[in-house]
Amino acid sequence: MAVIFELAVQGAQMLSVLLLAPLLIGFVRKVKARLVRRQGPALIQPYRDLIRLMRKEVVLADNASWLFRVTPYLIFAATWVAAALVPTFATGLEFSWAADLIVIVALLGSARFFQALAGMDVGTSFGGIGASREVMIASLAEPAMLLIVFSLALVAGATQLSTVAAFMGSPQVGLRVSLGMSLIALVMVAIAENARVPVDNPATHLELTMVHEAMILEYSGRHLAMIELASFLKLVLYVSLISCVFLPWGLAGAGAGPKALAIGAAAYLIKLAVLAILLAVFETAVAKMRVFRVPDFLGAALMLALLGTLLLFVSRSL
């Protein structure tokens, strides 16, 4: 019976990230629109878009290969699995030991690998420009991410997210400079990984500035729906990651009852809303930077993460 309950909780987690992902995007868009005094589309607009895309036929470029058609499902699956492994409302889920934070980051790497390949499949310049910029951004974001993992592991003594979250929720953490630096670095990496302003603009279709959009320019119909859903899921993943590591309040522990789970779910929704509002405010306040300024931005994240790690070597309590 306990096993069935645990499995149900795990299943609820998988479904909730999948179902919440378009809502989060819709909420960010709504807040951004309101900030510039526009009415903005309805909150459920991303759901409508996805359903419409899924129903449309796929227009495939003449020389697209099988890889181009398989990739959307692979990207979606890898991102979904990764997102489902990050604790959202509860830690210590049935399958949480299947992957630690490094695996989750690497799973996103797998998704990116196939996305960049699909961008090059049709053989237009847009796909190439997007793929080559994407791997450049990733080559800087991944080491920064690993150093963040490193400082977290130094503080919490584990890379297993459930353990990290449980430790960060305990009173022995306190306020630490190194964790502050890791938080800033993680936010910067998250912005770059999710192709948000100022690194990339998810709403642009201007050739010279796009990165993510350039890679998926040839996609249409259900394939585009899968890729869009994967990118929504990725935002949920990073928001959940930040909230479970740095805002671990209200998380239900391993083997928690329905009441704790309900509290966890409510707390999770509040955290999502707060972080989404912050993201929208930030995106509205800054301008997109040139592609070759992005290395400076990510270099700053790398340095902050490294400084955080080195501070921990000076003193475990900093």
Q: In the stretch 11-30, what mask flags binding to another protein with x, by CB under 8 A?
A: --------------------
81 or 275: CB nearest another protein: 81
Please count the CA atoms within 13 angstroms of the CA of 271 that sit on its side-chain side: 25
Q: In DSSP terms, which residues pair with 90 in a beta bridge?
A: 252
**DSSP one-letter code for 44:** T
Distance separating alpha carbons of residues 60 and 71, to the nearest angstrom: 13
Could you tell me the smallest distance in angstroms from the CB atom of residue 267 to another protein?
23
Could you tell me the smallest distance in angstroms from the CB atom of residue 195 to another protein?
15
Q: Which of 117, 109, 118, 116 is nearest to 79 (CA)?
A: 109
Of the residues 12, 35, 43, 120, which one makes contact with another protein according to CB under 8 A: 120
CA gyration radius, the chain: 19
* Size of interface with another protein, in residues (CB under 8 A): 84
- 312 binding another protein? (CB under 8 A): yes
Distance separating alpha carbons of residues 205 and 191, to the nearest angstrom: 19
Could you tell me the smallest distance in angstroms from the CB atom of residue 60 to another protein?
5
Of the residues 183, 269, 310, 318, which one makes contact with another protein according to CB under 8 A: 310
* Ranges within 231-270 binding another protein (CB under 8 A): none
Distance separating alpha carbons of residues 20 and 311, to the nearest angstrom: 37
Q: Is-contact 194 112, C-beta < 8 A?
A: no
- 10 Å Cβ neighbour count for 2? 7
Distance separating alpha carbons of residues 67 and 136, to the nearest angstrom: 22
* Ranges within 33-92 binding another protein (CB under 8 A): 51, 54-63, 65-67, 73-74, 76-78, 80-81
* Ranges within 95-114 binding another protein (CB under 8 A): 95, 97-100, 102-103, 106-107, 109-110, 112-113
28 or 312: CB nearest another protein: 312
* Ranges within 207-236 binding another protein (CB under 8 A): 207, 217-218, 221-222, 225-226
Could you tell me the smallest distance in angstroms from the CB atom of residue 84 to another protein?
8
142 or 283: CB nearest another protein: 142
Could you tell me the smallest distance in angstroms from the CB atom of residue 315 to another protein?
12
158 or 177: CB nearest another protein: 158
Distance separating alpha carbons of residues 247 and 277, to the nearest angstrom: 15
Could you tell me the smallest distance in angstroms from the CB atom of residue 39 to another protein?
30
Task: Phi first, then psi: give them for residue 175, nearest 5 degrees.
Answer: -95, 125
* Ranges within 123-152 binding another protein (CB under 8 A): 123-129, 131-133, 135-136, 138-143, 145-147, 150
207 or 258: CB nearest another protein: 207
* Ranges within 280-309 binding another protein (CB under 8 A): 291-292, 295, 302, 306, 309
One DSSP character per residue, 200-261 reads: --TT---TTT-SHHHHTTT--HHHHHHHHHHHHHHHHHHHHHHHHHH--TT-B-TT--HHHH
191 or 276: CB nearest another protein: 191
* Ranges within 159-198 binding another protein (CB under 8 A): 159-160, 163
Helix/strand/coil (H/E/C) assignment for every residue in 20-51: HHHHHHHHHHHHHHHHCCCCCCCCCHHHHHHH
